[in-house]
Structure 1
């Protein structure tokens, strides 16, 4: 009798356990999804390599090496001027801790994004860069419009970056007068004159010394490094008072921003750093001017960002160690760049601070030359795909006196557009800040679209890339998209809540105006004329080129088997 009772209780217990197991049983659809994800990650570890080629006649010289591409990326990020021009944002939003740790964090974010772009660029090396990637990696139905938007975001971002460097450089050059005149005030006509001179110098170098651009970009690496090294040495030699290490790395004061501390740190860290870590994606557009682009471009992307992070740290720490009171930097004379004040007060020498400032001016010239190079290549590539009206004019190549080819018309168009946009910056500093913020937003969106398209299509179309992220590809891509989204959101906020109509952040307004213009342009003209990237049909490859037409306009997209 007792044995029967025990047996019954045991069976009841087993039934309860079985019911409990079924209650928490993983649904079939989730198990299938998990299996598919695991399978996709497994295939990401494939060792096969396949570089996709394009149906474009090679017209530009393959003259850039890894070193010159690193120099170009280094010049576009332009650490000395990038730090100098946005230092006030970091000071308002927390000072030391925001500047140093924000730089490190955003540098890490930029490496993640560059890894995502490097993988795609190693499979599809093209001067069209990210807008070609978008067409290839998106769904066939939306490939044309996706590529159109990405191409124009890339063009606008590059153009505004060149304007921002040139106009900001003009402001910095004249701000040097504040080293000897504490009551210095900006003069609009002088700023415009300096702006025109910087653009003129950048244009002449790009037009007349095309054959020397490789060496020019390599020299940029040494100039930037020695600018920072000499500045650090002179600051440490001439300064008499230093903050301790705890103050340098942990001091935080966001009282001027009006934001909660965490929000102020995020806004300050991203806005201060993103202005420097901007434009590196544009070097993908140089793919047709390098040897072995499937290997050279990924190296150029990652090396230039890593070099910028390291040199930025070397530059920032000495500045923070001699940082004076914020009131002297931000209140005494807002027309003088804070870094000029730091140099003057720390070295206590006009000549020393002038020398350091002039070396930073040299770095500005390198940045402007590099920015004009990339925007001209973007115009050339977009015109070649009928993405610009009168494209036959802008895609023309001319031979220079040293027998080098250069897209002269595209370059002159970039100069003309920059002069017009620069005149808006002359009207108000808000316009300049809006252009600077919009440049970062447009470049980030342009970089993010192909990464997102690749994710949506389960990264199938980039299998066989020379540069492989392998099993961490999904993590890196998702993280990249999230950080791009966060950066664009943060760039819409003002660093300080104490704002008026003049100091308001209008970046999102400018970005929306450009976005609406791009949308109108597509349906008014681009839909019937724009052509996506022309890929070479390779029947034996793991992918096939599918051609569709829209009003006799060829749209070429890549579809994985």
Structure 2
């Protein structure tokens, strides 16, 4: 009894001590950090921003289509194959394998960060709209202008890079028969213009099949990786040991110190995985973009990373000596030699090459598609001269496309390719500058969000908020963007380097930046408008929810018909002010495009609920006025 009694005072006295210690500890946490932590754990309602742009393009793309487009833009098997020489020069197996894992991991962080933003601001302006919306008002237009031009230049030159390297690869197939094959720039350009014309035709005449093409890309890309792996392993006459696959590091050709060579080898994976930022230019054509764009973008980068690894491991398993790949046949792409040396069969090697040519086609079509949409969006905001010409949308073969923006992108790609006639180093510098531009365009909005304490993405449909994951992933993303931009300025090889083999990417990028700066000072500052948020949307939404007739506009969750919804309702205009807990949502409100147009044409609806009811009952009345 006494023992029990003696314990009670001890327990009771310890509680105030613990409470006091906790209170003291809490008071010593910097208020700024504490407020950030509390803010990151908010459970506020979703608040998805809407924009004033007219919906000119068809919303027809699904999550699966976005994944397919992401696959096509990154083009994993061909992307790795066309830049294989870089990783082999700068370390071989170790650089190729672990470099891919590192770059893919960093890229996933960047995509997660951008997906969080797109779920708050679903706009086809993509990263340049993000920069404007997440910056302080003072720098909003400036950051948007530079990000927009970096994105546009990156899109155009990325498309050129894919088409040109694809043309080189197609012609290098002749090296499978003739080891003395020499590349002829005029033949390369001939194939280049054929590919460009073919991709332009697909985007112009077959745009209505874009959904099917993107889905087909998934099947082709995954099937190609698996089939190439199987054929290489089955027909291989020799294989390397697991130790050699995982630990061989040969830096005898680059001239860089080993640690730097390893990082310079990241260029190979960076060139392949940079295309994810171009995905967001397709937002205007995606159903429910605030949810489907994050799902599609994150899924595509995850799957690309996995299948890149699945492709790399078998290649390293049968990889011949580097002397054969890099020294004896420098005019032939190393992947062609890998196929031929491993299988010792021209027919099998040719079949493997054809599979990669298929990925070239999908990648080129996808890059031209996103380039045209970026051109269209940027011109719509006044970022290009003659904006009315480039924003024109036409009905072509039962599909609405920005025809003139597509043609402008094709002309730019054609002109840039002619640089290869002047100097191969100048052309390569433009291609390197394209990846730097895309990387910075992806990183600027993430940095802007962090500088504003991530408060401007409050209410996003997709949040990185638990355990400060948003801050951690955003910080990693910005670090990687800066590091990759620096790495891309390094020449892959400095041993025996001459003026012709120097990497001039940073020079070209700085020239781009100077021209863009002058353009903003003398023209853009008066013509460029930036993103146009529809500040009246939620007020109109509130009026509609009160006045809409249930039989016309309100669909209960339990009786919603997906097919009817797709045919008769504009999914982009559905109610976005719903709780994150779907069980708390009683109904979903949809607007048809005609209803939205009627609201836009009747400004007095904001102040008159009666007029709102009138328009909802007779959508054509607003048009007659």
Is TM more than 0.5 here? yes
Match of 1:346 in 2: 342
User: What secondary structure sits across from 1:405 in the alignment?
Assistant: strand
Contact between 1:435 and 1:510, CA under 8 Å: does it hold in 2?
Answer: yes
Match of 2:615 in 1: none
Q: Report the CA distance between 1:427 and its aligned residue.
A: 3.1
Matching residue within 249, 268, 271 for 2:267: 271
Contact between 2:91 and 2:261, CA under 8 Å: does it hold in 1?
Answer: yes
Matching residue within 33, 36, 41 for 1:40: 36
Q: Tell me how far apart the structure 2 counterparts of residues 121 and 115 of structure 1 sit (CA, whole Å).
A: 10
Alignment of 1:133-152 (within 5 A): 133-152=130-149
Q: Tell me how far apart the structure 1 counterparts of residues 525 and 229 of structure 2 sit (CA, whole Å).
A: 53
Q: How has the CA–CA distance of structure 1 residues 427 and 359 changed in structure 2, closer, same or farther, with 3 Å as cutoff?
A: farther
1:114 matched to 2:92: no
1:258 matched to 2:255: yes
Matching residue within 177, 180, 184 for 2:181: 184
Give the alignment's TM-score, normalised by structure 2.
0.80
Q: Tell me how far apart the structure 2 counterparts of residues 540 and 186 of structure 1 sit (CA, whole Å).
A: 60
Q: Report the CA distance between 1:307 and its aligned residue.
A: 1.0
Q: Report the CA distance between 1:460 and its aligned residue.
A: 0.6
1:309 matched to 2:305: yes
Q: Tell me how far apart the structure 2 counterparts of residues 123 and 511 of structure 1 sit (CA, whole Å).
A: 31
Q: Tell me how far apart the structure 2 counterparts of residues 294 and 252 of structure 1 sit (CA, whole Å).
A: 44
Q: Report the CA distance between 1:458 and its aligned residue.
A: 0.5
Deviation string, structure 1 residues 164-199 (Cα, Å, up to 9, x no partner): 000111001000000000000001111010000010
Match of 1:8 in 2: none
Match of 2:13 in 1: none
Match of 1:534 in 2: 532
Q: Report the CA distance between 1:40 and its aligned residue.
A: 1.3
Contact between 1:156 and 1:442, CA under 8 Å: does it hold in 2?
Answer: yes
Contact between 1:46 and 1:464, CA under 8 Å: does it hold in 2?
Answer: no
Q: Which moved more, 1:430-439 or 1:45-54?
A: 430-439
Q: Which moved more, 1:249-258 or 1:153-162?
A: 249-258
Q: Tell me how far apart the structure 2 counterparts of residues 394 and 495 of structure 1 sit (CA, whole Å).
A: 38
Alignment of 1:164-183 (within 5 A): 164-183=161-180
Contact between 2:185 and 2:420, CA under 8 Å: does it hold in 1?
Answer: no
Match of 1:424 in 2: 419
1:157 matched to 2:154: yes
Q: Tell me how far apart the structure 1 counterparts of residues 227 and 106 of structure 2 sit (CA, whole Å).
A: 28
Match of 2:435 in 1: 440
Q: Report the CA distance between 1:327 and its aligned residue.
A: 1.1
Q: Report the CA distance between 1:276 and its aligned residue.
A: 0.5
Gaps of 5+ in 2: 1-23, 540-625
Q: Tell me how far apart the structure 1 counterparts of residues 181 and 34 of structure 2 sit (CA, whole Å).
A: 63
Q: Tell me how far apart the structure 2 counterparts of residues 201 and 329 of structure 1 sit (CA, whole Å).
A: 32
Q: Tell me how far apart the structure 1 counterparts of residues 498 and 206 of structure 2 sit (CA, whole Å).
A: 45
Q: Tell me how far apart the structure 2 counterparts of residues 510 and 502 of structure 1 sit (CA, whole Å).
A: 15
Match of 1:287 in 2: 283
1:469 matched to 2:467: no
Deviation string, structure 1 residues 117-152 (Cα, Å, up to 9, x no partner): 000000000000000010011011111111000000
Match of 1:209 in 2: 206
Q: Report the CA distance between 1:246 and its aligned residue.
A: 1.1
Alignment of 1:345-424 (within 5 A): 345-401=341-397, 403-424=398-419
User: What secondary structure sits across from 2:418 in the alignment?
Assistant: helix
Give the alignment's TM-score, normalised by structure 1.
0.89
Q: Tell me how far apart the structure 2 counterparts of residues 181 and 475 of structure 1 sit (CA, whole Å).
A: 52
Match of 2:64 in 1: 67
Match of 2:91 in 1: 94
Q: Report the CA distance between 1:540 and its aligned residue.
A: 6.8
Match of 2:221 in 1: 224
Q: Report the CA distance between 1:38 and its aligned residue.
A: 2.2
Q: Tell me how far apart the structure 2 counterparts of residues 242 and 426 of structure 1 sit (CA, whole Å).
A: 41
1:318 matched to 2:317: no
Higher relative contact order (CA 8 A, sep 6+): 1
Q: Tell me how far apart the structure 1 counterparts of residues 127 and 515 of structure 2 sit (CA, whole Å).
A: 20
User: What secondary structure sits across from 1:115 in the alignment?
Assistant: helix
Q: Report the CA distance between 1:47 and its aligned residue.
A: 2.5
Match of 1:550 in 2: none
User: What secondary structure sits across from 1:331 in the alignment?
Assistant: helix
Q: Tell me how far apart the structure 2 counterparts of residues 42 and 199 of structure 1 sit (CA, whole Å).
A: 52
Structure 1 consecutive aligned stretches of length 4 or more whose deviation exceeds 2 Å: 425-429, 538-541
Contact between 1:329 and 1:341, CA under 8 Å: does it hold in 2?
Answer: yes
1:501 matched to 2:496: no
User: What secondary structure sits across from 2:331 in the alignment?
Assistant: coil
User: What secondary structure sits across from 2:253 in the alignment?
Assistant: coil
User: What secondary structure sits across from 1:276 in the alignment?
Assistant: helix
Deviation string, structure 1 residues 541-561 (Cα, Å, up to 9, x no partner): 9xxxxxxxxxxxxxxxxxxxx
Contact between 2:90 and 2:250, CA under 8 Å: does it hold in 1?
Answer: yes
Q: Tell me how far apart the structure 1 counterparts of residues 309 and 519 of structure 2 sit (CA, whole Å).
A: 43
Alignment of 1:116-131 (within 5 A): 116-131=113-128
Q: Report the CA distance between 1:279 and its aligned residue.
A: 1.4
Q: Report the CA distance between 1:385 and its aligned residue.
A: 0.5
Contact between 1:192 and 1:426, CA under 8 Å: does it hold in 2?
Answer: no
Q: Tell me how far apart the structure 2 counterparts of residues 188 and 217 of structure 1 sit (CA, whole Å).
A: 31
Contact between 1:161 and 1:436, CA under 8 Å: does it hold in 2?
Answer: yes
User: What secondary structure sits across from 1:502 in the alignment?
Assistant: coil
Contact between 2:490 and 2:503, CA under 8 Å: does it hold in 1?
Answer: yes
Aligned residues: 511
Q: Report the CA distance between 1:539 and its aligned residue.
A: 8.8
